[in-house]
């Protein structure tokens, strides 16, 4: 890690620790090296820098983030320094997908939020199927990372209160199509099975679209 990147990363980590009470003990369950797709729930803006800095000293870490983030000069500078990949939401952004596949091929840990848009209530929304295709094309394993408390960050900052931010980490697994042609329906089924794994490490009140754990399947999941 070059000096500027080190200063910014650990400066952000210190600042976030001041503004938030972060329980990141389970980050140690994340492998030290990739390739790996870390997929998370999406509740706000603070989760990305917290997860990125908590993953250090894992140096080869990147993520997909909405291209609008680069409109902010400071985030533009930081995310470019961190090698975050901009993606256009609501369309098939093949440039972003190629960059993500290249990062995985080079052994990076790639962060992604399959829901696409944030849930202001902190409850899971239906995932998009794109993450399944990324996993299948790359052959990379996946690991769910759930976080709690980020949805309260904006309100807490306004009231000069620290935010409690907890991180939970699930098991590593692979997607397996079992030789089937992967249709849009199968891709969505895969994404849903992935999200149930994320829901299992969230409290019941945060599971949202994936609350019915008794209906969860793992037909397309292959655990290590």
Can you give the pLDDT at residue 118?
A: 87
Between CA 81 and CA 75 the distance in angstroms is 10
- pTM for this predicted structure: 0.94
Question: Is the distance from CB of 46 to CB of 155 less than 8 angstroms?
Answer: no
Between CA 210 and CA 3 the distance in angstroms is 43
Between CA 43 and CA 201 the distance in angstroms is 16
What integer is the mean pLDDT of 119-143? 93
pLDDT at 161 over 90: yes
Give the domain 3-223 fold. Glycerol-3-phosphate (1)-acyltransferase (3.40.1130)
Can you give the pLDDT at residue 17?
A: 96
User: Within 10 Å of residue 151's Cβ, how many Cβ atoms?
Assistant: 22
Structure tokens at 140: 């990379």
């Amino acid at each position: 890690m070059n000096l500027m990147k080190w200063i910014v990363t650990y400066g952000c980590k210190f600042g976030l620790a001041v503004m938030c009470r972060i329980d990141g003990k389970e980050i140690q369950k994340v492998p030290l090296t990739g390739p790996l797709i870390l997929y998370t729930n999406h509740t706000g803006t603070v989760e990305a820098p917290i997860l990125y800095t908590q993953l250090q000293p894992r140096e080869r870490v990147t993520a997909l983030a909405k291209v609008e983030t680069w409109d902010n000069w400071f985030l533009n500078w930081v995310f470019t320094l961190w090698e975050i990949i901009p993606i256009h939401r609501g369309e098939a952004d093949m440039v972003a997908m190629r960059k993500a596949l290249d990062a995985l091929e080079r052994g990076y840990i790639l962060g992604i939020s399959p829901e696409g848009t944030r849930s202001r209530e902190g409850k899971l929304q239906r995932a998009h199927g794109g993450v399944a295709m990324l996993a299948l094309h790359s052959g990379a394993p996946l690991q769910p990372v759930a976080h709690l408390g980020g949805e309260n960050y904006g309100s807490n900052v306004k009231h000069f209160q620290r935010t409690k931010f907890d991180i939970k980490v699930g098991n590593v697994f692979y997607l397996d199509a079992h030789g089937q042609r992967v249709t849009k329906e199968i891709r969505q089924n895969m994404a849903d099975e992935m999200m149930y794994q994320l829901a299992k490490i969230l409290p019941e009140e945060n599971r949202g679209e994936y609350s019915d754990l008794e209906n969860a399947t793992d037909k397309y999941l292959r655990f290590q």
